[in-house]
Amino acid sequence: MPKTALKKEKWTLTFDPGLKEIVTKEARRNGIYPVALLERMVREKFNPFGHSGVGDAAAYVRALRGRSRGKTDAAFLRDIREWRKSNS
């Protein structure tokens, strides 16, 4: 029995012009297409652990650290160690 070809879906997204400008600037800065940038951002947001598809590890750690300013460095490092143990 022959397999049927998958139907490719076409998507159209409507963006705010200001948001579109920001996305295109960031994509140019990274040297990738805007669609690739959006796909990477969506993967990072919906990935349950968020670490496996990170393009720029240093920026990711900076963002994590920025979100946890209320924690001490020792508590931050302890969280990282616990995460490593849970991932093993």
Q: How far is CA 52 from CA 27, 32, 39, 47, 55, in A?
A: 20, 19, 14, 8, 9
- Give the CA count within 13 Å in the CB-facing half-sphere of 53: 15
Tokens matching residue 30: 């990274």
- The model's pLDDT over 34-80, given as tens digits with 9 standing for 90+, comes to 989 888 888 777 775 655 666 777 887 788 777 777 778 888 788 88
What per-residue confidence (pLDDT) applies to 40? Answer: 84
pTM exceeds 0.75: no
Provide the residue ranges of all domains of the chain, joining segments of one domain with +.
17-87
Cβ–Cβ under 8 Å, residues 27 and 33: yes
